Structures are given as C-alpha cells and as structure tokens.
A = this chain, B = another copy of it.
C-alpha cells in the first residue's frame, strides 16, 4: 500500500494541498472547520509528512551533528547524553560522529564535503585540530566548538573556565596539605590547548599559595586515558622524591594514577592525594571515590544547542562569542580520605 501524501489528504478533505501543509505545520491562520476536516482526513489515511521532501523544499535537514573524538570516553558519552535531549526538544535530530581525534577526519568534517547537506549545524569537540586549523573550515557551516579552543569570532565556543577550575583543584590539594604537587596530562604542543590551560591553573594556584613549581613534576601525556595516568604515576613514584599530591587532567587519568598508587601499597589520599577532572560517573564509585572538577554538562549542552540553533536560524553572520558554563569543585575520598562520601 502506497504511503499517502499531502495531495491524498487534500483530495479527501476537499481542500488544497497547501492548506493541508498549513495545518500540518501549524502555520498561519486556519479556521477551526478547515483544520478539523484536514485532521480527520489525516487520521483516516494515516498520513505522515515526508521529511525527505520537506528537507529538499526547505533546504534544511533538521539535523545537527555532534562530533566527538571518542564515544566510549565517559566524559563524551555523558555530554552526548545531555546534548541529544536538548536538540530533540528544539526539533532537531542528532547525528553523531567520532573522529578518534584524527586531524584529517576532523578537517574533513568541517570542510565542504557532501555530507554537509545532512546537517544544518555542527557541535564539534576537536582534538586533532589546532586552533589554527579551525579557521580553514567551510565558512557557511554554523559551528559551535566545545572544549578548550577559543573562538576566532566566526564560531561560538562553549566551555568552562579551565584556568579557574584548575586553580581551584590545585588550591584544594594545597589546602589539604599538599606541598609537592604533580600534574599529569600536560600537552605542550599546538593541539594541546586544553591541557595547557590546566597547566596554567596549576601554576596560578602555586603562585597564589607562594609555593614553588617543580617543573619536573609536570608530566606530559599524549592522551587522557587510564593507561596514561597509570604510566605517569609509576614514573612519579619511581623518583627519589615522589609527590604528595597529584592533579590529573581527567578522571580517567586519575583513575589510572590511583590504580598504580594502590598497587604499590600506597594509601590514597594519606600517602598521596589525587584529584581529577570531568566528574564522570566512574569517579563516584571507585575506591577511593575521586575528587574532581565537575563541569555542568547539561549547561554546556544547553548553551551549545541554543547558540547553534540561533546561528542556523540567522540569515546574516552571527558574531562568534565565548560562552561559559559553570563548574564545581567536588572533593571526595581521593583527597579527603575515607570519611568523605
């Protein structure tokens, strides 16, 4: 049985196809009588609008794409969990892409490929692309960037204040008695802006407390995974003068670091305190629970979607701005000890 169309409904209801369209879209003023007739016909035929045809006619796909490096990284999974309902509520479907942090893949997505027609806008969490790379994108693509790049004025950027958050995290380590504090996760190269902001906060907190920074305690990692944390922690503990506290640039790193410390028979936080970043669910269930910086993921998602939709809807170029979502310091057992939650 053929799918019924707008024209079928129009014929049955005795009105023009355009009027049916008006009813379906809640457009314009349609009299109650007409509306009722049309709705009856729709119900009778089991009509549903063909989105594909609508897309062609309007030149819009009604979809946005969210691009993240990894889907199975809890932080991104939790973020997506927040983005999808926000977009859905605004009438958009969400396409998801993962790039594995691959620069080429990311570049292709922001370039002018054929897939461009499939989405009206993009929320991008770049990893392989440097700040400079972002400027080579298709200028007609409405774009909101998440994470730690900064806007160049042609797209929006949503993130938390990483420097402030990192300063708070390290300040907390100092407050609970940390004196030789390590940092795990620095990335001193162009695509590592995210990490570098955290390192800046690390230094700021030391400065604020009048503590010197031992540069050798700042450990670089290429990624933010458990294994990176585990490896870095092992190196730190092999030193003659190991740290008494560690600021990890993600909760996964913290989880790996704690794992190593415990394996070596150290107590966390008594022998070495650890704080992470991201507030992923895991951190609330490990042993010890992981102190962390909690970015407000719902706020990030909401801001990103709102702003993107505004950008999509606007005929003239919208100036790119920086949007800040709130964050909180969440001290847990890995800094406060077993008495904490």
Contact = CB atoms under 8 A, between A and B. Distances in A.
Contacts of A50: 56, 117
Contact of A287 (B49, B51, B114, B262): B262
Q: Chain A interface: which size bin?
A: 35 or more
Given A72-B77, A77-B71, A96-B96, A48 B259 contact: no
B281 A259 contact: no
Contact of A93 (B48, B78, B81, B95): B95
Interface string A34-66: 000000000000101111110110010101000
A114 B49 contact: yes
B116 A98 contact: no
Contacts of A52: 52, 55-56, 59, 61, 117-118
A115 B286 CA distance: 40
A51 B114 contact: yes
Interface string A95-109: 111100000000000
Contacts of A242: none
Given A72-B77, A77-B77, A84 B59 contact: no
Given A48-B113, A77-B77, A71 B95 contact: no
A111 B273 CA distance: 52
Interface in A244-288: 255-256, 259, 262-263, 281-282, 285-287
